[in-house]
Structure 1
Amino acid sequence: MKIAVAGTGYVGLVTGVCLASKGHDVTCVDIDKDKVEIMQKGVSPIYEPGLSELMTESLAHLTFTTDYQGAYRDAEVIFIGVGTPEKQDGSANLSYVYKVAKQIAESVERDCVVVVKSTVPIGTNDKIEAYIHDKQKNDVKIYVASNPEFLSQGTAVKDTLHASRIVIGVEDKVPGEILKNVYDGFEAPKLVVKRRSAEMIKYASNDFLALKISYVNEIANLCEIVGADIEEVTDGMGYDARIGNKFLSSGIGYGGSCFPKDTKALNWLANFNDNEIRTIRAAIEVNENQKFKLIKKAKKYYDDFLFLNVAVLGCTFKPGTDDLREAASLVNVPLLMEDGAHVRVWDPVGMENFKKHFPEKIQYCKTIEEAITGADLCLILTEWDEVKQFDVQKYEELMNKAIVLDGRNCYTLDQMKNTKVIYDSIGRSAVNQDLLKK
């Protein structure tokens, strides 16, 4: 089929490339001319494992352009995959979605299906449909469907090609059948539901996972107080099929472009409609507090950070991506610097983006060894494989004072018991604290 995709961020680009890999002729539209030129060469502008390779393999079916009129004019299906960033009040900013909707309405010259893949508040597709019909110039049939994405950064290609489910929200039979044809080559359950149900499935799914993470983090915090081990606790929980063993890892909170934004958006939507989802509000509050967990732990070892050398391992919100949105590093590093610390940062892919936020006063390191050499404190913020596989003896050998605060539980307690490293993680007993007395 002839498909156009508006937006080449994580959602739009991954969607376009994956559809092209299935044989559809896909035109991806973006307003950034430089970005388009890069993609025309088969280079992905975002770091996402497997995406560049799939782009190269699918270039025969891929076109990248800034010419939205040409892209939309005779497309059978047009996906809207632009961002819906958070406003100050927590609501979703839909200006980019409406801008694309207007362009589509003014450009299409044939019957088509407009597919809103961006995450939007419940009822938005109804408004977009009315808006397009009001603005359309040509006498053609334009259907609007909801098709939320469920991809995770770092595994976005896999999540799209091997989806847990494909949700198609429509009010008419025709667009539902067309979208089933679009996804004919994808082996995944295809659920055809009402548009508002599709919109809610997206929010309800993301917010449930966010709530699960915040719940486990609260249990982890209590484990530290009462002497239980969170990993033993979650292992026992995971055997219950009703709970499952996914999203039970404790840490310093969730980040990224989805969970923070979507929890706040659903909370705002409920409040706007004189309702309240107290569990979602609690998840938001717990997550915000959890980001400061390591700073609070550090105060047990130092009264302040003045003149201390502090190593920060990992600045992205999760491994497998260079995305810093809502990352714990963005709140922890400024606090360290404000208190007079000399901060050294290591991350395998995220440092260039981090430099945009902190171009000065931070030492950026090429290796973990460089970051921790002579350090008085080490904070682990991202569970990169390089960190998890790092020889823990080197903390003892290279650090000035071997105090490692692990926000992602990268090591077992037994690993650290055989060292002279003071190791403090999340939801578990601190190791080697008796060394403080020596």
Structure 2
Amino acid sequence: MKRITGRYNAVMNTTKPAITITPELLAGIGQEIGRNFDFRVNPDGSGSFVDGPAIALLALLDQIVRLSLETSLPPFHISRRTVKGHGGPDWRHGELRHVELKTATPNLRSPASAELAALLQTLNSSGAALGPFDPMASRLQYAPHIGLLLDVFLAHHMSACQGHKRNEPVGDTGLIKAEIDNDFVARFRQSMLERKLLRRERHNWNLGSRENAGTLTAYLHDLFVKHDSVTVLHLRLFHTRERASLLSASAQDQHLDLLALRTCRAKFFDRMRRKPALFTDEPGYAWAILPSLTGGYDLHLTLLFDTAALQKMLDDRRVEAEHTGAVLEDHADQVGEYWVKGATGGRGSYLRGDRNPWLYGPDWVHGKVRADDRVRLGKLTEMLSYLAMRRALVRLKNEPAGVYFRTPDRKARPLRRPSKTVQKERQSRAPALGLHSKIGIQNT
């Protein structure tokens, strides 16, 4: 069996780790992505879930990659002993023959190897479900290292060993299951080395997710420095009741459907800025476009209101309603209806996260969050980070380019004063442009 030598360790010791997103964070991202992919809006406006691909398994595959690259040792230690026994092709007239018995145990010389040994059984039993033969999984594009792991797995004899225990012989190979696993890990390591650990591909793949996460963290920090308390509202917004299925619709129909959603989103935010009586003067927000395999593209919206400003606005609206005798609808429903009527022309719908806990899960934070409440603020940041980095594990193969997560732009840094040479050059060009020489010309 081929073994990785000192070249492997030399490469690993002279490069920075390619995986910087923690396994715990990836596990949360995997669960959230799986929830989104499996979500479907019913004709009556309610939501439900379908049995989709095991997206949460992708975080485990990422962990298998990480553990495989932490050490050059095999996941299993194979002990051998030879005994004499009856039977077999060499047996004649009671003659005894030598039989080799193999016993596999997790390789305790390395914690990474021992942990890897425990995870390989899950890959063996579930890895094929993420392969190209599954109709839903065939529409997905995995992170480069996960895609390579699945490619090596599906081409390796290990993929045909479902149900085998680690000490069980595999067919006529003369190997036990654990030896097959060791060979698989060795071949995967070699494949990664031949591709220079996919450093460039993984960097490019994760760049947007890392930037989103950094922007989100900085934005929430600034927001809670500015306000003592923020009130959080999560909404799932749909631009129409019949969206293009990401499984059966053509790529063109899917792209047109996504464009329609983006158009409604732009209209909603344009009107939101001009309606402080419903959204306060400067509402904070984070939005993400989420794909649903059997449905289409949805818009997640988290509104982050200054609690004091929101309370004043609600008090003013309550007083106005009392004077006019109008029935004051719940504020979250007013926002949802504003999306339906103002942005979609009555064709859309919405779901509230606080009234549909199955939509996001039990750890999502709703309502008031104080700046000094580290627990709730930490959960809010973590949950929104899942949306910011939802493309870190998997994407749709035909997913169009564009922005899929956004927070308000932070204040731009002041422009640096141009040098005297640049100022003279600009002044010399200003008359030709019909501009007064004292007006600075800014590049956009």
Alignment TM-score, normalising by the size of structure 2: 0.23
Greater relative contact order (CA < 8 Å, ≥ 6 in sequence): 2
- Choose between structure 1 and 2: higher helix proportion: 2
Larger Cα-atom Rg? 2
TM-score (normalised: structure 1): 0.23
